[in-house]
Structure 1
Amino acid sequence: MPLVGPGHTSETTAQLQYEQDIYDKQHSETPLDSTDDITTDMENKARISGGNGNDGSDNGKPETPQQQRPGFRERIKNMVKDAFPEAITDVKIMGGMAALESRVAREMQDPKLFPEIERVAHVRRGVELCPEELTFLDRRKVRARDNLARYLGLQPEDVDPRDVPTVAFGGSGGGFRAMIGCLGYCRQMQHAGLWDCLTYVSGVSGSCWSLAAYYTFGHTSFDRVIDHCKQRFSPHHPLSGEAIRTILSSPGGARITLGPLIQKSKSGLQTVAMDLYAVFTTGWIFFQNDPATHPGRNIHGDRVAGYQRSWYRYSTAREYTDSGAEPMPIMTAIRHERPWKDWKDKEHPFDCANHAEGDHKEADEAWFQWYEMSPYEIGCDEVEAWVPTWGFGRPFKEGKSTMQLPEQSLALLLGLCTSAPAGPLTSYISTISRNLPTNFLGNSIHALANRIAKFWGKQGTEEFQEHHPLHACNEHNFMYHYTHVEPGQGRPPGLENSPRIHLIDSGMDNNCPTYVLLHPGRQADIIINMDASSDVQKDTFPERVDQIGSRRGLKFKKRHDIKPGEDPKDPNRFNGLYAQIYDGIPCERPATVVDSYGRNVTNPPAPVHERECKMIYMPLLPNAKAVPDFDPSTAKFSGSYNLVWTAEQIETLVKVCVQNFEDGQDVIKDTMRSAWLWKRDERLGRGTNGPTMPQESALSNVAVQNYAPPIAQVSTGAAQLAGTNGDATGEQMSGSGVEPRWNTAVGATIAPQTTL
């Protein structure tokens, strides 16, 4: 089955072929009697292996109804044949599954394992930051003071914590390329000391995997996570039979992987294909055992490295953030806001919610709402509603949870954030059984997926068999019936009238997490965006940052228009482009914006960021100094949808990321020094004739220009100052007389004249 689909339009022909070859190799042993229909193929295979209750030979006798549809547990037992080499392990897997549902149901009520079940979750309203995040900010500022002084070569006593700039880092989407790229940049930031100066780190899609890994099994070491990826990302695809078999046969593997799905179903939600993708893909990425040891055989669970009593939970990252020791991570997903009249029913906003087919492009006056996920809260500043992270996934009514469930697994959260897999999930699941001899495992994965979907509802089965994984997962809507209504009083249609919400990969709207980092309460001074998108050499970032900036009331203007050299063999052709500065100036929100699909639409609502903000854009460009003749965007193995990377391929990309960061680091230091001086003078109330900053960029060799200390605070009325009427364009901004209130040096490496 070809993998090429609507979601693959950004890939090159070589990348598509490379992924197809991996797919074909891992699913090459296809029995002659296999079909493309999951249910039929599974039923046939079950009968071959004794699934009809006999020895696999029907002797021409018709099956009775009881033989045709035996019970789930009975069928599981009958599908195992001692003649198969892996039958011993298969028996262990399914023996554990037979009691899995009852065990998970029992553990869901254990406060020692899940202490949060003794608390009722409440919806918090407002755009302000939660108290826990405010406490984090205070503690992080104190720590960041010494870190900033060390990074910039200053004396700690010369730096007041109030003057420390709020610096945020954002990682883009782009599959494993983005995940590895984010890890590479962050690793070097950690080694250089910049990571310790950050207040927030956020990600879209693949970068969310990086952050989640760092704050869980990585134990805040990017080196550890990268080493883990080198061992884990090959030779098996996360959804290959061998990968799934390894996970389910490990101590506690079935419970940790499938338990979240059981909990989700018991909460009243239907599982879809994307839920399966989430738990198995993240389960493989995070899997800590060595598959070569065949974990689960004759080893007691609590003596196995990586053994867990429960699934990963995002709120455990508070171990590193409550004290301010680490930046606060923010993962992202989006919800498609669409007129109520288009809703199919009270639970599904679309008749066919297939985002891969682009149905969101056709909706008039529709937009994406950004939902953010921190270890403290999950919510949306546009809706002005938040719930504790440990309470997300529970049913809610009138602002409080009605079922006190354990915290939803991190794997399911990552499924919302990274919902852009390589192809229809059914094409993976249906070929897993064909990848192995006709034994228990080859059938059980089919049976497991199909039985879960059937057991949990007809609609789930339809979505599992027919829809692309981008079909959004079902989640409980914490705003359901939030407003109290008297008996007999009608409830207006809208978000509060839907028990479900559907969240999807935020890369469908914008491939960088700029929106959440511009939350007005966070007062970001500098945002460093690492972009591993496939189009980084097509100069599309100005449009993307302008789209989000317009929503937040900022006009981002690229400071220097440097072009890459035309000679592809010139090792310096990208000089000056590894760290590009964009000045974000407060302006009146324009009435319309150009969205990600090129349409001129009404500017969606959003709280305004009222302070100036600098953007340092760090695209994942080729770097011949690190790896000659390698382009991260077009190399055949670095396509956005390739989920099999060798250790050598990972090291290749990491080397490029490390060198790219080093080539842009002086720009970062110049910008941070300027921000610190600006904030210091703002606090001291100095006039417009402030001091000069005779710093030099070692790369640009251009002296830092004089900077102007801040003028009066600019808010939503900045358009009057700028001479605009709410429809700010680049030309209007450049001629308005409004310039950045603080500046750095030229701020980017000046390429040789021959490359301009």
Structure 2
Amino acid sequence: LPDLSGTVAKWKDSLASVSSAFSSLQTELSLGPDSTYARILADAHNPKVHPEVQWDAEVRLGRDLPYTERAFLRNRRERIRVAFAELVGVPLDQVDERDLPVVAVAASGGGYRAMINTTASLVAAKESGLFDVVTYMSAVSGSCWALNTLYSVGGGDLDWTLRHLRERVKEPFLAPETFVKLFAIDDEASRLLLSAAILKRASRGGELSLPDVYGTLVSSRLYLSDDDENPASRKEGGPAAPRPLSLATLKTSTQRQYMDDGSHPLPIYTTVRHDLPSPEELAEAEKKAQEGGGPAADSEGEGGGGTEPVAAKLSWTWFETTPYEVGSDKLGAFIPTWSLGRVFEKGKSTERVPELGIPVLSGIYASAFVASLFSYFLEIKPLLVTLPFFSAIDEFVKSNAHKLDAIHPFPPAELPNFLYGLEPSLPTPSSPSDGSPSSSSATPAPSTIPHALTEARTLGFADAGVELNLPYVPLLRRSVDVIIALDSSADSHDVWFTRAAEYAKTSGGAGAGAQDEERGGVRLKNPKPTPLGSAPESKEKAARGEGLDQSNNKAAAQGKFTTPPSSSGDGDTTKPMPESQTKEPPLGKCSVWIGSTKAEDAATCRNDHPTVEDVVRRDGIALAYIPLSPDDEFKNPLEVFSTWKFDYTEDETDRLIRLAKDNFNAGEQQLKTLLKGVWLRKKQQRLR
């Protein structure tokens, strides 16, 4: 953890000014007729300020991509065609849009470290020409901050965004100056940042939470420029923010202005919901487990224990947010992004309120602190292994994993449940859908749609990194050909390969129903069951694949995973995704895996320096994994840049930027080879 002594000292010296500012804020937020609170609420119904309050919203049922995203894909392909021909050095007239590889960036979590690493890597991609052939950018946690900054005040300008973040991370958001400026209600910038939390507080959709406060404080550093904080100090003629701060700037839906014409990749922000059994079910399961000989006996199918049915309810549901829609592919339900924050009932919005702002969402995207106790243990486990009583702690945690994974010390942020009252109309995830609201009226199986999900008025959302710190999940339904994984997380790399492989396998043509059934089988094969959504207990077990059903995981060991049916209508519907193998060389600056359905290719999934011919011969997804690798000048980046460190010196930031760019540039030629090989493969397949 970072040293907080300096921050504490600053607070001692600034208590008077902070107290005064907070007192002023309390007065302003008193809900009086002339208060800032009242003025913000009055504007909430002004269509000139919030155009979306003129529209009603409906839940879209189905797993297809929305028409808006399909239109984006058409326009993006037109742009990519020219950039791709130049990148790989082929004549433009030889490039057919139908053959273009669908390239996605998957950027990990990791606080400010991930935010800077992702932004710097994208700058390097822009400089090399690779950014201009990317279609999707999915993000977790700190990388969500990077993309939101880029498409809010950054106006899509990568160079400006990186310079801006470099300046804004010098001061921590917990510094007293941040509170004083944020509480300065007379300041327009402060009112804009506070509007998201105030509008949520005034709505019927959920109370303010710790993630909301966290997000607002972080936003005061990320989405305000130095000029916004100190307009009088702006240098004449100096560069202004590409997109001036406004309420529109702080809405995800307005980011589509950079995607509609295909000029930028589509950002995909991720969150997860933890589906939990009730306290009564947990108590009953514990009683049965004690009567039947404990969890170990039950996990072997003997003794009559009762933890398995309860553990089956400890599942994670992924949600995605793009400038077009918010929803879950697993559930097959989406709403327009501009309607996020509204109360829905039976598939229709029951109120017209402004879209939930980015400051609140920024807290949800990075709310790793709302993880379960089991996740907390996994995080600190490396620090405990040297303790003399560690084995006793470890044994206790293993035997009570199903209970610890159901306890969240800090509750997640709650948002209105747009699925409320929808249960009779939700399609089963394995059913085909044309994307229309009336595409299906089938009642979903309980194992697919938790019964409580459509009965709850609100849903709790958390940082997707508590489940999987690389956002492969939203890419699996989008028929991607190449994934560039930017991993600056502090976690075991093997964990994310193992988990991603499981998702790829269980999200295949059988649908999400098969996913839950198969994962239940995984637990039954494990004497010490790892709860659903929990990482393996160690790097060694992750590397060996422990925690996965080995009998059902034969295809996983061979890197033969299939993605869900294509939602875009282009390309193959079964693109195998590779998995990290157990006997491989150490990870380099750019490690490459290429999936294949051919049995003879099973042992050679890893190929860090493939030729174009190597890529053409395979038929699966290509994964280029670029971690935050140390070099001779910077041997310990993960130690210097803790996930919970929120202030960097200029020198530290510059070193991190240089390292991120060097790591990305080291794999430039490998990436170009992958893209050219996939293009030729798709061209050959089309012409057969």
**1:645 matched to which residue of 2?**
648
Does residue 505 (structure 1) correspond to residue 432 (structure 2)? The answer is no
1:324 is the counterpart of 2:262? yes
Q: Which residue of 2 aligns with 1:552?
A: 507
1:138-191 deviations in Å (ceiling 9; x for gaps): 111111111111111111111111100000001001111111110111110011
The answer to whether the 8 A contact 1:200-1:327 is kept is: yes
- 2:193 is matched with 257
The 1:242–1:306 alpha-carbon spacing in structure 2 relative to 1, beyond 3 Å, is farther
Give the partner amino acid of 2:224: F
Report whether the alignment pairs 1:478 with 2:418.
yes
Offset of 1:411 from its aligned partner? 1.4
Q: Which residue in 1 is equivalent to 2:4?
A: 20
Aligned to 2:489: 533
> What's the offset of the Cα at 1:263?
1.5
Name the CA distance, whole Å, in 1 between partners of 2:17 and 2:75. 57
What is the alpha-carbon distance in structure 2 between the residues aligned to residue 184 and residue 149 of structure 1?
25
Matches for 1:294-309 after TM superposition, within 5 Å? 306-308=244-246
Aligned residue among 250, 269, 272 for 1:334: 272
Q: Name the counterpart of 1:167.
A: 103
1:633 and 2:643 correspond: no
Whether 2:223 is the aligned partner of 1:286: answer yes
Q: Which moved more, 1:476-485 or 1:180-189?
A: 476-485
- Pair 232,160 (structure 1): closer, same or farther in 2 beyond 3 Å: same
Matched, 1:182 2:135: no
> Matched residues in 2 for 1:639 and 1:270: separation?
31
Helix, strand or coil: the match of 2:120?
helix
| Of 137, 145, 148, the match for 2:81 | 145
What is the deviation of 1:255?
Answer: 2.3
User: Does residue 1:388 correspond to 2:323, yes or no?
Assistant: no
CA distance in 2, matches of 1:382, 1:587: 28
Residue 685 of structure 2 corresponds to: 682
Aligned to 2:165: 229
Structure 1 residue aligned with 2:660? 657
Report the 3-state secondary structure (helix = DSSP H, G, I; strand = E; otherwise coil) of the residue aligned with 2:489. Answer: coil
- Aligned CA-pair RMSD: 3.5
Shift of 1:360: 14
Residue aligned with 1:141, SS: helix
For residues 383-406 of structure 1, what are the alpha-carbon distances to aligned partners after superposition, in whole Å with 9 as ceiling and x for unaligned? 100000000110000101001111
Identify which of 209, 219, 239 aligns with 1:272: 209
Paired with 1:284 and 1:178, the residues of 2 have a C-alpha distance of 16
Q: Distance in 1 between matches of 2:170 and 2:476?
A: 37
Equivalence for 2:349: 401
CA deviation profile, 1:387-442 (whole Å, cap 9, x unmatched): 0000011000010100111111011122221113699xxxxxxxxxxxxxxxxxxx
TM-score by length of 1: 0.62
Distance of 1:385 and 1:587 partners within structure 2: 35
Question: Unpaired runs of 5+ in structure 2?
Answer: 235-239, 283-306, 372-406, 426-442, 509-560, 562-576, 600-618
The one-letter amino acid of 1:239's match is L
Distance 1:187 1:22, change over 3 A: farther
CA distance in 2, matches of 1:497, 1:281: 33
Indicate the SS of the match to 1:649.
Answer: helix
- Per-residue Cα deviation, 1:492-523 (whole angstroms, up to 9, x for no partner): 9431111110010000100000011111xx21
Are residues 577 and 494 of structure 1, via their aligned partners in 2, closer, same or farther at CA, if it must alter by over 3 Å?
same
Instruction: Measure the CA separation in 2 of the matches of 1:470 and 1:147.
Output: 47
Deviations 1:231-256 (A, max 9, x none): 21123x21222112123337223422
Paired residues in the alignment total 511
Pair 468,232 (structure 1): closer, same or farther in 2 beyond 3 Å? farther
CA–CA distance in structure 2, aligned partners of residues 655 and 87 of structure 1: 41
Residue 242 of structure 1 aligns to which amino acid in structure 2? E
The equivalent residue for 1:219 is 155
Relative to structure 1, is the Cα distance of residues 30 and 140 closer, same or farther in structure 2, using a 3 angstrom cutoff? closer
Q: 1:588-599 maps to which residues of 2 (within 5 A)?
A: none
Q: 1:213 to 1:293 in 2, by over 3 A?
A: closer
Q: Which amino acid is 1:651 matched to?
A: D
> Secondary structure at the residue paired with 1:616?
strand
The structure with more helix, counted as a fraction of residues: 2
Identify if the C-alpha distance between structure 1 residues 207 and 286 changes in structure 2 by more than 3 Å, giving closer, same or farther.
same
**Maintained 8 Å contact 2:168/2:226:** no
Quick check: 1:616 aligned with 2:624?
yes
Structure 1 residue runs of 5 or longer lacking an equivalent are: 1-15, 32-83, 298-302, 345-358, 424-466, 565-575, 589-610, 686-756
Report if aligned partners of 2:370, 2:412 keep a CA contact under 8 Å in 1: no
CA distance in 1, matches of 2:598, 2:646: 42
C-alpha change, 1:215 and 1:579, in structure 2 (3 Å) is same
Structure 2 distance, partners of 1:560, 1:484, is 45
Whole-Å separation in 2 of the counterparts to 1:478 and 1:93: 33
Where 2:624 maps in the other structure, the secondary structure is strand
Other-structure match for 1:666: 669
Give the AA of the match of 2:421.
Answer: H
> Is 1:238 matched with 2:173?
yes
Residue equivalent to 2:612: none
Give the direction of change, closer, same or farther, for the CA distance of 1:421–1:21 in structure 2 (3 Å limit).
farther
Q: Residues 153 and 249 of structure 2 are in contact (CA less than 8 Å); yes or no, is this contact kept in structure 1?
A: no
Q: 1:336 is paired with a residue of what secondary structure? A: strand
Map 1:59-74 onto structure 2 (within 5 A): none
- Asked if structure 2 preserves the Cα contact closer than 8 Å seen for 1:396 and 1:477, the reply is yes
CA distance in 1, matches of 2:10, 2:311: 39
What residue in structure 2 maps to residue 247 of structure 1? 182
Q: Is the 8 A contact 1:238 1:285 kept in 2?
A: no
Whether contact under 8 Å (1:149, 1:155) holds in the other structure is yes
What is the Cα deviation at residue 284 of structure 1?
2.2
**What is the TM-score with the length of structure 2 in the denominator?**
0.68
Instruction: Check the 8 A contact 2:281/2:310 in 1, yes or no.
Output: no
Corresponding residue number in structure 2 for 1:8: none
Q: What is the rounded CA distance, in whole Å, between the counterparts of 1:548 and 1:25 in structure 2?
A: 47
2:404 corresponds to: none
Deviation at 1:471, TM superposition (A): 2.0
CA-to-aligned-CA distance 1:240-278 (integer Å, 9 cap, x gap): 221121233372234222222222122222112221111
Distance 1:282 1:561 in 2: 44
8 A Cα contact 2:80 2:133, kept in partner: yes
Quote how far apart the aligned CAs of 1:560 are. 10
2:317 alignment partner in structure 1: 369
- Cα gap change, 1:371/1:24 in structure 2, threshold over 3 Å: closer, same or farther? same
Q: Determine the C-alpha separation between the residues in 1 that align with 2:182 and 2:337.
A: 26
* 8 Å Cα contact 1:338/1:366 also seen in 2: yes
> How many Å separate the matches in 2 of 1:183 and 1:526?
20
Q: Which has the larger radius of gyration?
A: 1
The question of whether the paired residues in 1 share the 8 Å contact of 2:189 and 2:228 is answered with: no
Structure 1 residue 289: Cα displacement: 3.3
Residues of 1 paired with 2:259 and 2:460: CA distance? 29
> What amino acid is aligned across from residue 326 of structure 1 in structure 2?
H
CA distance in 2, matches of 1:619, 1:271: 36
